[in-house]
A = this chain, B = another copy of it.
Amino acid sequence: MAATTAPDGPRGPVTDLIPEGDNRLRKVCTDCGFIAYENPKIVVGSVCGWEDRILLCRRAIEPRLGFWTLPAGYLELNETTGDGALREAMEEAGAQIALEGLLAVYDIPRISQVQLIYRARLLSPEIAAGPESLDVGLFRWDEIPWDDLAFPSVRWALDHYREMLATGDPRPRTNPPGATGAMRTAPPGL
């Protein structure tokens, strides 16, 4: 159902003002006085293994439509981070998974995003593309479409997953040194 709109169309909190008693610019709606306190967003996702294969999803939505990513998305209200990661695996890949611990916390401050990525295993190899995926697949390490990954943090998480399995060091990883998550023209890390 569409919302009723003002005669001149939706405006909303788009004016930058420092509200009384505050010390930062906030987006304010000059129609109604509403102050939108914007906060960073939480992305939850997982690297899901099945034997020596890893689950990837080919994006059916922008940004980076057609590129491969992990099952991940915005945490919803009243949801735990673990439940969010399970939901995203089901929604994007029809995948039933079990979480095995926190793999990484990535900071992407440029877009005010914090990513919590879990290590997980598939409970079965039955997967199917959901509405936000063009395709899903289980890839051996050397079959991963490295040139067609959607975001730098997908590469980070895959590398960290492999390294955690190899070393057994269970400390969650963070951004690679100096990496901010900014997109480059060339595919990340290659």
Which residue of chain B has the shortest Cβ distance to A39 in the bound complex? B41
Q: Is the CB of B19 within 8 A of A6?
A: no
Q: Is the CB of A109 within 8 A of B79?
A: yes
Q: Is the CB of A40 within 8 A of B38?
A: no
CA distance A81 to B147 in the complex (A): 30
Which residue of chain B has the shortest Cβ distance to A3 in the bound complex? B28
What's the minimum C-beta distance from A154 to chain B, rounded to whole angstroms?
19
Counting every copy of the chain, the complex holds 2
The number of chain A residues with a CB under 8 A from chain B is 53
Q: List 23 A-B contacts (CB under 8 A).
A: A1-B17, A3-B29, A3-B33, A4-B33, A5-B32, A6-B31, A6-B32, A6-B33, A10-B32, A10-B34, A12-B13, A12-B29, A12-B32, A31-B32, A39-B76, A40-B75, A77-B112, A78-B110, A80-B107, A81-B105, A83-B109, A114-B116, A170-B171
Complex interface bits, A39-64 against B, C-beta within 8 A gives 1, otherwise 0 = 11110000000000000000000000
